[in-house]
Structure 1
């Protein structure tokens, strides 16, 4: 693990506690080991624009950890355009009883993710290197989530074939996407929207839940 991240571990654990999110010692180690790997592989694979460990702690890890309560009711999740594994890897670490599929078209990023899954022993994660339009799943996913992947219309259009009956989309947005919601097809409805605060970040986060109307 990155020595600076090791020093920041007590701070990270404290922030998780403030959020009311239970993180075991093993999960804390796994989360920081993942971030350490992300920063290390970043030098060769260009996985993220963030290179400072403390920035990564808040902008990547905690920004993903806050999503965990939002997926509590879903047994299976598809993280579309996962990139370096955010929020999919942190969510999989925190929710070992749920299944996660991480999808991305960038082969370097999926190669990194496969290495992370193997190194951390994450048996609840599947990594897929495909365009979302070319990917199929027999039963569909209870939740399709994305973090700054695309507009709500593009996200729902491109992934509708992957949503299980009664499933929901969960989009994480930096601003409330009022115009994007207006653009949605009439066959979709806004189920819920939540404003979430990430510790030590001025930015606001919105969780947008969508579902088919029929």
Structure 2
């Protein structure tokens, strides 16, 4: 696809490196193939409002890779509200040992996720059309994941209670947030207080970062029950 070329790949590798993520040649090629599929499918179904290839490189691929240092190697990961596959697919490309479940309530998005995983030959990736609240009741799902992620998905007082039933003991929730994340922090504090009143204590670390080329501010909220490992 036009715009997904060596310059594009170099931009992703450079940007990821600035966020502490090493992307080798094979992973870089997979990310390029993924971006091409995303933009091709976006012509017929609304997967992303970002359509310039270089913007996709930074605002989707590099941004999604920011989560990688906080996901233990070989984890079982659940990505709620995965949409076009962020951050789940880039995280799986960066760490082939990950087992990734992508969940979205929009069927056409899940069709794309299945297509992308099949086309890129990404083993250990499943895409499910469901609401997360319903999925947690399935056998093997509750307390079945090391990490639960979301990216610009919902308010923290909605996402955290939704994610907690999926976590194994010692697991972590990672919420990726864009501009306005200060509001998310206040919302999370209220959520923590509510859980504490019920005897459930959450430990949160907020990691600020900026996209390496445009300078946009971002934050990760890494949440565990008790102290971070």
TM-score normalized by structure 1?
Answer: 0.93
CA shift at 1:139, angstroms? 4.6
* SS at structure 2 position matched to 1:86: coil
Which one of 211, 216, 219 corresponds to residue 198 of structure 1?
A: 211
Check conservation: 2:142, 2:165, Cα contact below 8 A. no
Cα offsets for 1:14-37 (capped at 9, x unmatched): 333333322121110100110111
The residue aligned with 1:84 is 84
**Distance in structure 2 (CA, Å) of the matches to 1:160 and 1:14:** 34
CA shift at 1:73, angstroms? 5.2
Cα offsets for 1:3-55 (capped at 9, x unmatched): 31114222322333333322121110100110111111001111011111111
The residue aligned with 1:106 is 106
**Distance in structure 2 (CA, Å) of the matches to 1:74 and 1:208:** 21
**Distance in structure 2 (CA, Å) of the matches to 1:80 and 1:188:** 22
Distance 1:93 1:70, change over 3 A: same
Any gaps of 5 or more consecutive residues in structure 2? none
**Distance in structure 2 (CA, Å) of the matches to 1:41 and 1:49:** 12
Q: Does 1:155 align with 2:159?
A: yes
Check conservation: 1:172, 1:207, Cα contact below 8 A. yes
Q: Does 1:171 align with 2:175?
A: yes
Runs of at least 4 residues off by over 6 Å:
none
Check conservation: 1:31, 1:90, Cα contact below 8 A. yes
Between 1:68-77 and 1:91-100, the stretch displaced more is 68-77
* SS at structure 1 position matched to 2:40: helix
How much is the aligned-residue C-alpha RMSD, in angstroms?
1.8
Between 1:46-55 and 1:178-187, the stretch displaced more is 178-187
Q: Does 1:16 align with 2:12?
A: no
**Distance in structure 1 (CA, Å) of the matches to 2:14 and 2:164:** 38
**Distance in structure 1 (CA, Å) of the matches to 2:212 and 2:190:** 32
* SS at structure 2 position matched to 1:39: helix
TM-score normalized by structure 2?
Answer: 0.87
The residue aligned with 1:181 is 188
Distance 1:120 1:106, change over 3 A: same
Any gaps of 5 or more consecutive residues in structure 1? none
Cα offsets for 1:149-198 (capped at 9, x unmatched): 11111112223221111211111112232311221121242332211222
Between 1:21-30 and 1:136-145, the stretch displaced more is 136-145
**Distance in structure 1 (CA, Å) of the matches to 2:38 and 2:119:** 13
Q: Does 1:208 align with 2:208?
A: no
**Distance in structure 2 (CA, Å) of the matches to 1:173 and 1:17:** 20
Check conservation: 2:4, 2:32, Cα contact below 8 A. yes
